Chains A and B, each alone.
Chain A
């Protein structure tokens, strides 16, 4: 089956710093999403980005489907950005999605 790898596994930053999270996947996919899991476990949709670049405030994401990777950028980090960031992919629109192992981000004040 498809493999999804995320790096780095852990990241500790000071408030105000910028970060780049990476997601590599082993096969061609039609769907890719980035999620933030908050301390209470809720998964929050950040981006639906099977290809191209999107921006939403301090966050942006880029997926290069032909090279099978996606990047999530977080600028001017805030303590509320702390949590686990997951990349998840699927082959088609309503098929099961496979999660990466996640990046645990800690932002220190």
Chain B
């Protein structure tokens, strides 16, 4: 099946620093990728849609200046959490739809802890 990878799998950073998370589709191209955030014992909440070659589309309530998304190629999207604070600590997951039959495939997630 299709594989999506994320790096790093976990990261601890100090408050005020920035963290970059990479999402790669390993065996297919993805013009669109999605970024989700999941707090403990909650469902996945969509943060933004990453579009190759154009600006990301953010969901209501998500600060686009805080969560910078870059979709530089057909296999790579990055999420940068800028000036991270403890409330940004969460599990971040990316996904990419694969053509035919258009299933969404998810990365393994990145656990961010801001101290």
A residues sitting closer than 8 Å to B (CB atoms) are 31, 33, 35, 40-43, 45, 48, 86, 88, 90, 93-94, 96-102
Contacts and interface: CB of A to CB of B under 8 A. Distances in A.
B115 interface: no
Interface stretch (B16-24, B41-49, B70-78): B41-49
Interface stretch (B61-69, B81-89, B99-107): B99-107
A45 B101 CA distance: 13
B108 A42 contact: yes
Contacts of B95: 97
B111 interface: yes
A96 B109 contact: no
B49 A86 contact: no
Secondary structure at the B interface, as helix, strand, loop or mixed, is strand
B111 to A, nearest CB: 7
A93 B97 contact: yes
B79 to A, nearest CB: 15
Interface residues of B, number: 25
Given A93-B97, A96-B49, A42 B34 contact: no
A98 B104 CA distance: 11
Given A86-B43, A96-B46, A101-B43, A45 B103 contact: yes
Contact of B43 (A33, A48, A99): A99
B25 interface: no
A101 B39 CA distance: 12
Contacts of B46: 96-98
A99 B102 contact: no
Contact of A94 (B44, B102, B106): B102
B106 A43 contact: yes
A48 B101 contact: yes
20 contacts: A31-B102, A33-B103, A41-B38, A41-B93, A42-B106, A42-B108, A42-B109, A43-B106, A45-B104, A45-B105, A48-B101, A93-B99, A93-B102, A94-B31, A96-B46, A97-B34, A97-B46, A97-B95, A97-B104, A99-B43
